[in-house]
Structure 1
Amino acid sequence: MECLDERASSLIPWMIDQGLRSSGRQDLLNTFCEKLVDLGLPLWRFHLAQRAFHPKFGGIGYSWTRSDGISHEHYERRETPREAWLKSPFYLMLETELEFFRSDLAADDRSRFPLLGELKTRGATDYFALTLRFTEDDVPIDPNAPSEGVLASWTSDSADGFSEADIALLRAVYPVLGLALKSMSNRQMASDLLQIYLGRDPGQRVLSGEFQRGSSTEIDAVIGMFDLKGFTSLAGDLPGPELINMINDYFGIAVAATQAHGGNILKFLGDGMLIMFNLGSIEKDARAALDAAAEMCRVISARNQERLAEGLSTTDWTLALHAGHILYGNIGAENRLDFTVIGPAVNQTARIAGMHRSVGQNLIFSQVVQQAVPEAEHDMVSLGRYMLRGVATPMELYTIYRPQGTMPELVPYVED
């Protein structure tokens, strides 16, 4: 068997290279485990947990076994920690600030930690775990909300378990593994947060380098303005948490419908949002926008019935759609930029959005959108021609006909 220096010297340069390349954590960990086995480590199982910067998931776990390879699992944020977490060696290490934990899976450890009992039943003989923090040592540790860092465990099924040389090897390479993971997770964190706060397409563009002030792209797209009706009066009547839950409920439906049909959420505007469909042609954009609108009609209608049955407040919505030539890019000050859209088509969409009360329809769209979609796909009905403020020529507006019984009655419009 190679000595420690030789084994470590073959792993560490490779891990540094992987960290610089940021190829992906799952591939890195899978190959890391395979290399350990090739170097003579009697490794049967490996597990690593790392914090995630995501509104839905608090962490991510990677598990590797000699027979099945690598897999991963996202851990959803929970108000009450899972029982399995509270009774795990990792929790003990964070709670008592232990740098390492090792067990030969004796009876006392198996009764204290159900995981170790399960591993023993499956043939494990030795368990070794390490923690690595990415923050200052004087920062308090909350095991239910861990700070940045990684927790990892290695399990052997060899009769003799891990040798002292094996443990020394793991200790030697673990900080380098942590550094590579930190590099990769920082890029993943940037990607996740940019897409969550800017939108999928703007986030990808900014991450790829499109962040120079004034940089923009000229595109043809469908622009949409979604709004919740009567929200100002609801804001005065509902408690804050109930109001936030309600707006998140409706926005969740509108966002899901938009993204399911290839659209992007450009920004939230109080009780509304600005959306864009840019799929390569006005025909594709218009079709996707109307399909998304039809889905919003159906799902919000069903959700309103559920909310009424649950004794929750309900509201209605509006959506205005228009298509045209726009500038898509970075606008703002040197130290505060926004990735958004500007141009006459955007302004005209806002003017169309101001017509919902006059025409008495939730969904209205311009003739440009109507002409781009085959009539057979949606039963489109003209609402008439209107002179819109700031628009030189009359604009014909349309909606989708919904037979009686497919939608609830329109909620009376309330000035916001």
Structure 2
Amino acid sequence: IEAVNDIPTANAQSVEILEDTVASIKLAASDVEGDDLIYVIVDAPRQGSLAGDVPDLSYTPDADFNGTDSFSFIAKDQDQTSGFAVVDVRINEVNDAPVANDQLVMLLENTEMSITLAATDAENDPLTYTLVSVPQDGTVSNVDLPRLTYHPNENFNGTDHLTYIASDGELVSETATVDITVVAVNVPPVAIEQGITTSEDTRVAIILKAMDIKDETLTYTITSNPSHGVLSGTTPNLIYLPNLNYHGDDVFAFTASDGTDVSQPADINIKVASVNDPPKADPKSITLAEDAQIPIVLSGTDVENQKLTYEVVSVPSHGTLSGRQPNLVYTPQPNFNGRDQLSYGSSDGFLSSDPAVISITVTPTNDPPISMDVTKALAQKSQGNQIQLTADDVDGDPLTYQILSAP
């Protein structure tokens, strides 16, 4: 009879342990041939975890879990694999001690606070509470545990604490602490409004101010910037510069802080007085042809839009001006071409502008030559007399001559 390798058999087990303990479990299987076996976990436990090297394992249930759990495995020899075997684990309930909760509470100096002690119990048993130590810098009242009221001593600020335990009637928790922080009462600083006056286009120094009852060091924050100027410097020492040529009212706001509380915003109201600005005369460039004329209108601008008058500062070198300011006419010298200029200024009646230049370009034109009359006395009946024809050309061009009528 030829030998046949038999399938190994994995052995089911039942294990019983207490809640929150660890069970040692040795997987077991049998093989007819006595072959060495290999164990493989197929389904892991759902309410706990396995550790160790098969077949020697340890099972740890989830914290505070009680009830049933299981896992399965197979055994293998060199050729054959067993069927599934289940290890059933029963975890028996154990009464857990309650856990009292540490707390952190905060209240203001010279006030009171209601405190509710708290604890948890895995079995949800009803709990009772006991104070272990009372506060050193305050008192408790209205004690109906787990509720009580804490009163700090008058004007006390700092830290205080009390301790307590919780019991489910059988087991007692570890001691828990209620840490109490009593915050000093602080009066916010008061930011001070100011009225500042400056002139148009003129910087002004501004020192932000605030009052604090405790005389603490204050910091300042700009909460809204001016609409018609800019601020520079480091608070509280600032410089305000109005926008160019602006005059009128402006405002910005700030707050003061003592590091704990922030003041209400305060306004810095700024009045920028008007200052007369000098007008500006407009530079110009014009072009005209030789021996022509051109009108020139003197012009300028004034920030205050005042009526302007004009004065010629330097006249042209190669022409003349006529007309009544601001409406002038420039006439170049006869046959002149090239560059010329004049300068002028404007006035609002109080201030005068810097001179502005009007650049003039006179373009050349070709002038016709002028034939010169010739008078010459000749001897009677003489012949072969020579007559020199002459003409004048302003532009100096080479000339040719043509006889229009014979003698």
When you count helix as a share of all residues, which structure comes out higher?
Answer: 1
Smaller-chain TM-score bracket: under 0.3
Task: Kindly indicate whether structure 1 or structure 2 has the higher relative contact order, using CA contacts under 8 Å at least 6 residues apart.
Answer: 1
TM-score with structure 2 length normalisation?
0.23
Q: Give the number of the structure whose alpha-carbon radius of gyration is greater.
A: 2
TM-score with structure 1 length normalisation?
0.23
